[in-house]
Structure 1
Amino acid sequence: MWMETSCSLAFETPVATPFLLMLRPRSGAQQWIAREQYVLTPSVPAVEFTDQFGNLCQRLVAPAGRFSIHTSADIEAADFTDTAYGAPFVEVQLLPDATLPFLLPSRYCESDRFSQIASSITAGFTPGYNQCAAIVDYIRGALQYVPGAGQDIISAAEVNQRSQAVCRDMAHLGIALCRALCIPARMVVGYLEALQPMDLHAWFEAYVGGRWYTFDPTQGSPCGGRVAIAYGRDAADVAIYTQFGDPVELVGMTVRVERLNAAPV
């Protein structure tokens, strides 16, 4: 399917403030970027680099006063999320080097604290994709998805003590449980066409059967219309913006996703 996505951010910055942004999706196996727009108001110099996870990052210094960022893109994305029940577990010694960082505990995914519960949740399931699916079912049963209910970033261990969660929290718990089983898992932030209310969204991917597969505990069934913006070990790696120095006020944020009837010309 073809989609048009956009994200607009507006800040009040009391003084000139350095920013690190992660707002440009990249083309890959599941998405193709046909057109992009990236507007800074007022216009300031920006430098782009690629981080250790392949994300496109932008550095700039926002001037004092009102500062806004608007991005939009026309993107071809997958109509459906692939499923692969029975896809096998990949032994650690056979994993690609690039997947190894996603096996380790990280700031918000303390996988070393989940070995027992992960084994209990997945007992009797075939190692690999089926274990990941069992983890998603556990999260859906244990947590009520409440969009916008949590502003503070909490860890998987904290999430597992609660009854409600946002998408980021549910992704953290899924990642920690997968890693506890020696399944590489990474966080994804991006757009989801069917999301209500519309906002940026988080889910996770797990590496089984020789490739990454999408898992989203917030959705009752696999759905396509996803556009990935950033990948990382957890939320600390995939913030769409990070500002340095004295706090600034985010005074407005608008996210829009619309399906296009045909490929853009």
Structure 2
Amino acid sequence: MQLNAGCELTFDAQTPTPLILMLRPRSGAGQWIIREEYQITPAVNVTEFTDMYGNLCQRVVAPQGLFSIHFSATVQTADLIDVSPGAPYTPVEELPDSVLHYTLPSRYCQSDQLGDLAAQITEGTEPGYDQAEAIRKWIHENIKYQYGTSDASTSAVDTANNRVGVCRDFTHLGISLCRALNIPARMVVGYLYQLDPMDLHAWFEAYVDGRWFTFDATQELPRGNRVTVAYGRDAADVAFTTQFGSMQLNDMKVWVDTAQNEELESEKKSEQAPTLSTSVGSNNQDSN
């Protein structure tokens, strides 16, 4: 499915403030960027780099006063995500070098403190994909989704204890429980079609049987039509904006809509042959 996804952020900077932005998705196995638009007001110099996880990052300095960022893209997404019940565990000694760091504890994912819970959840489950799925299902059934119950300092241990949180917290807990079983796991942030309520979204991927698989503990069943923006160890690596100074976020809007209606209108107005509007794919298999 083709999706129009984007966000608009409005800030008020008390002083000129350096920013790192992470808003541009990349084309990959599960998505193709057809069109994108980036607007920054007032206009400032922008430089772009690729971080150690392969994410596209932009550096700007916001001037004092109101500052807005508008990003939108049309993306061909995979309608389904790959599932593979019974896929075997990949032994640590066989993991690619670039995947090893996803087995370690990180700032928000204290996997070294959640081994007992991970073992309890996955007792009697075959090592590998089935363990990751058991973790996803347990979080979905046992952690309450509720806004305003966590903040930027909430960790996986906090969520395990409090049994409440939002997608960020569900993801940190899933990552931590997988890592506690020596299953590499990473955080993914982006957009999900028909997410309710609409917002920027987070989920996790686990590395089993020599590849990455998608798991989303906020959803009852596997869902495709995702637009991935960034990968990382946890939320510290995948912030959409990182500011270095006094700056307040005044407003944020997020949207994900189907682009099919626009395509139909465009075809009516054009005598050109329509472009290919279907694709197949799975989540990004880059091991970074």
TM-score, structure 2 normalization: 0.89
Q: Tell me how far 1:177 sits from its aligned partner.
A: 0.4
Deviations 1:144-173 (A, max 9, x none): 112454333311111101132100000000
What is the one-letter code of the residue matched to 1:86? G
Given the alignment of the two structures, is residue 251 of structure 1 paired with residue 244 of structure 2, yes or no? Answer: no
SS at match of 2:57: strand
**What is the aligned residue count?**
264
Find the counterpart in structure 2 of residue 63 from structure 1: 63
SS at match of 2:70: strand
Deviations 1:214-260 (A, max 9, x none): 101100100111111010000000000010022x1111100010112
Q: How do 1:45-56 residues align onto structure 2 when only pairs under 5 Å count?
A: 45-56=45-56
Q: Which has the higher strand share?
A: 1
Measure the CA separation in 1 of the matches of 2:245 and 2:53: 25
Q: How do 1:205-244 residues align onto structure 2 when only pairs under 5 Å count?
A: 205-244=205-244
What is the one-letter code of the residue matched to 1:162? N
TM-score, structure 1 normalization: 0.97
Contact 1:191 1:257 in 2 (8 A): yes
Given the alignment of the two structures, is residue 174 of structure 1 paired with residue 170 of structure 2, yes or no? Answer: no
Q: How do 1:84-123 residues align onto structure 2 when only pairs under 5 Å count?
A: 84-123=84-123
What is the one-letter code of the residue matched to 2:53? F
Contact 1:194 1:225 in 2 (8 A): no
Deviations 1:109-146 (A, max 9, x none): 01111112211211111100000011112112221112
SS at match of 1:206: strand
Measure the CA separation in 1 of the matches of 2:225 and 2:148: 21
SS at match of 1:182: coil
Gaps of 5+ in 1: none
Deviations 1:48-100 (A, max 9, x none): 00000000000110001110000010101110121110111000111111111
Deviations 1:183-205 (A, max 9, x none): 00000110000201111000000
Structure whose CA Rg is larger? 2
Contact 2:15 2:245 in 1 (8 A): no
Find the counterpart in structure 1 of residue 140 from structure 2: 140
Contact 2:171 2:203 in 1 (8 A): yes
Gaps of 5+ in 2: 267-274, 276-288
SS at match of 1:199: coil
Measure the CA separation in 1 of the matches of 2:221 and 2:251: 32
What is the one-letter code of the residue matched to 2:234? D
SS at match of 1:251: strand
Q: 1:199 to 1:82 in 2, by over 3 A?
A: same
What is the one-letter code of the residue matched to 2:94? L
Contact 1:136 1:174 in 2 (8 A): yes
Measure the CA separation in 1 of the matches of 2:120 and 2:58: 42
Measure the CA separation in 1 of the matches of 2:207 and 2:185: 6
Deviations 1:2-44 (A, max 9, x none): 1011110000011100001100001111111111101110010
Q: 1:147 to 1:28 in 2, by over 3 A?
A: farther
Find the counterpart in structure 1 of residue 130 from structure 2: 130
Measure the CA separation in 2 of the matches of 1:231 and 1:119: 26
Measure the CA separation in 2 of the matches of 1:80 and 1:166: 23
Find the counterpart in structure 2 of residue 74 from structure 1: 74
